[in-house]
Amino acid sequence: MKKILVPTDFSKGSEDALKVAAQLAKRYDSELHVMHMIELPFDMVDPMHETSELPEAMFFMKMAHKSFETFLDKDYLEGIDVREAIQNNNAFEGIIDSAHGKDIDLIVMGSRGASGFKEMVIGSNTEKVVRTSDVPVLVIKREDDNFRMKDMVFACEFTQEYKKSFIDAIAFAKTANATMHLLMVNTPSGFMTTMEAEQLMNDFLEGVSIGEYTLNIYNDVSIEKGILNFGNSINADVIAMSTHGRKGLSHFFNGSISEDLVNHAKRPVVTFKI
């Protein structure tokens, strides 16, 4: 975990993410890239455009740099290689582009969650990054001065579709020296016997070097509630999920369990792209 990216809007949520990222950077001797996006219209910053408002654009840039000075003036960042950046781009697209351009290993973001119409139609930038990023995304829900990843729940359907994201999750867990608690949630609409579920999980694990892990089958009314309730029952440090990266109408009608967890979970959630 050599490079960690923390997008920030200078809010309390993004500072919570920065605190956790700082702990990880010290633990793994990582570079910490802190980035802020200014979403200004192109014609406002293009000096060749007839409606250019370059002086006003420069004002916003200076304000952002001033906010950075305050945001990064923290004792917990001492001794860390911190690199700040300000870009003019759409927030979540800029985050994805920066992650690729800088060879980022992990994106750490804060989220206070969304609900109702906003959750269904608009979503937060964090939710959009979770949906589209092929770099692992760690979502922090509250301030944590002693962040750890000793116990990590990994929930999926244990079919071949999830194999790549599972391998990525294993690598993440090994880096964190975490025990993986593999979870299959049994629901009324997709019920399996214990024997069937265990066979499916064992077949999925065949030939995979996983390290410390446990196998768990949990019954609940929905997959999301099963993951949340199981995580509570073992006092998990983080919940790991695969994300499909659905877009457009497919996302609107089908949704995503990983995005629901980002909104509703009180525990940190880390996502891996299928």
Q: Is the pLDDT of residue 158 over 50?
A: yes
Mean pLDDT of 21-37: 95
Token readout for 266 is 């009180």
Q: What pLDDT, in 10s, does the model give residues 100-135?
A: 999 999 999 988 655 443 333 334 678 788 888 999
Residue 151 exposed, middle or buried by CB count within 10 Å (0-12, 13-18, 19+): middle
Do domains 3-140 and 151-273 share one topology? The answer is yes
What is the domain partition of the chain in residue ranges?
A: 3-140, 151-273
Q: Residue 183 and residue 219: Cα distance in Å, rounded?
A: 10
Which of 26-40, 59-73, 185-199 is least confident? 59-73
- Describe the crossing of helices 223-233 and 257-264 by its angle, rounded to 10 degrees: 50
CATH of 3-140, one of 3.40.50.1820, 3.40.190.10, 3.90.700.10, 3.40.50.620: 3.40.50.620
Angle at 260 between CA 201 and CA 11, to 5 degrees: 130
For residue 256, the model assigns a pLDDT of: 65
Task: Look up residue 198 and give its two tokens.
Answer: 């265990």
Q: What's the burial of 173, exposed, middle or buried (CB within 10 Å: 0-12/13-18/19+)? A: buried
Both structure tokens of 131: 């949906």
Of all residues in the chain, the percent with pLDDT exceeding 90 is 58
Counting other chains too, the contacts that 84-87 makes at CB distance below 8 Å and 24 or more residues apart are 84/33, 84/34, 84/35, 84/36, 85/33, 85/34, 85/35, 85/36, 86/35, 86/36, 86/37, 86/38, 86/61, 87/35, 87/36, 87/37, 87/38
Count CB atoms within 10 A of the CB of residue 121. Answer: 9
Answer yes or no: are the C-beta atoms of 205 and 234 closer than 8 Å: no
pLDDT at site 113: 53
Would you identify the CATH topology of the domain 151-273? Rossmann fold (3.40.50)
**Measured distance CA(39)–CA(45) in Å, rounded:** 11
* Cα–Cα distance measured from residue 78 to residue 187, given in angstroms and rounded to the nearest whole number: 48
pLDDT > 70? residue 49: no
Is 50 exceeded by the pLDDT of residue 47? no
pLDDT of residue 64: 80
